[in-house]
Structure 1
């Protein structure tokens, strides 16, 4: 399946995934930035032991993408794991709804809503490709019920977005 500019469907999905992850970090970051102290990226054995091979959503064990994952330690000492998931081979509804997962050991604010300890899926409701409208970043519980949503602003200035990146707040 090709779009009008000659790129293939996979490239569009990768771009969408990158856009969503920027939205995820912005949505989560707004709550994290208000906490005192700093967040640390956790690597090595602690990251390896925290990273699940699959993530369970709506009755599906969906593979995680370890290369597109970060484990963060909050100023309070709790951890939050954010990763992309691989929905290829799943129903179109699952592919459309989810691109990533979040597991939190402490309270976070996502889209201005307090989220407790738990695990969540997330995705992006996108406007049509030609539109300049914002998308919606959505967070779901493991049963698939929407628990939070907020605007995901389109950033036309992104030259080559990365799938998942954690950057310090300015």
Structure 2
């Protein structure tokens, strides 16, 4: 009888240890501990793609991100800004013009000269050197000016680079055009 109980106990323990809940929480704890020791600064596409969801929701549809065209920043408090180009093939032409990429921020940002609250957004670089940011329902929240960088040696479809003018500011590029961003100053 003791053998049967111990075999049942072992099977129950194995089932619990391999349950989706245990696996999820174990992965979450491992991610938290690695985040706490993670390096502050720019995340390359491999680092950003490992954190970003494979698909994102925007304007009633779910679309895959382009992991090879992603990037981000980890701030000193371990909070993140992540961005990636999105495959918008299922969207209307009007939406595709302004929705080229996805932005997730855990901190308030100064995006160019505009303040953006933490959240998930769609954005695009449009004519007249503008960047537009929309909520997930495709409602425009802000517009800011972009700058063309003719000296950029190797433009990628999307990349995040340091801004040479400030240690705390970054540049979000789509091709040769960019907008600067940084964590917004804390309000007292």
What is the TM-score of this pair, normalised by structure 1? 0.63
Deviation at 1:159, TM superposition (A): 6.7
Q: Aligned in 2, Cα 1:96/1:41: closer, same or farther, shift over 3 Å?
A: same
Corresponding residue of 1:153: 147
Q: Could you list the runs of 5+ residues in structure 1 that have no partner in the other structure?
A: 1-37, 127-133
Give the Cα–Cα distance (whole angstroms) in 2 for the partners of residues 87 and 78 of structure 1: 27
Deviation at 1:95, TM superposition (A): 1.3
Q: Could you list the runs of 5+ residues in structure 2 that have no partner in the other structure?
A: 1-38, 165-188
Corresponding residue of 1:24: none
Q: Aligned in 2, Cα 1:149/1:68: closer, same or farther, shift over 3 Å?
A: same
Which protein has the bigger strand share?
2
Give the secondary-structure state (helix, strand or coil) at the position aligned to 2:138: coil
Equivalent of 1:138 in 107, 132, 135: 132
Highest RCO, 1 vs 2 (Cα 8 Å, sep ≥ 6): 1
Corresponding residue of 1:27: none
Give the Cα–Cα distance (whole angstroms) in 1 for the partners of residues 145 and 46 of structure 2: 36
Give the Cα–Cα distance (whole angstroms) in 2 for the partners of residues 111 and 44 of structure 1: 23
Which stretch has the larger CA shift, 139-148 or 105-114? 105-114
Q: Aligned in 2, Cα 1:46/1:84: closer, same or farther, shift over 3 Å?
A: closer
Aligned length: 126
- Computing the radius of gyration over CA atoms, which structure comes out larger, 1 or 2? 2
Deviation at 1:153, TM superposition (A): 3.4
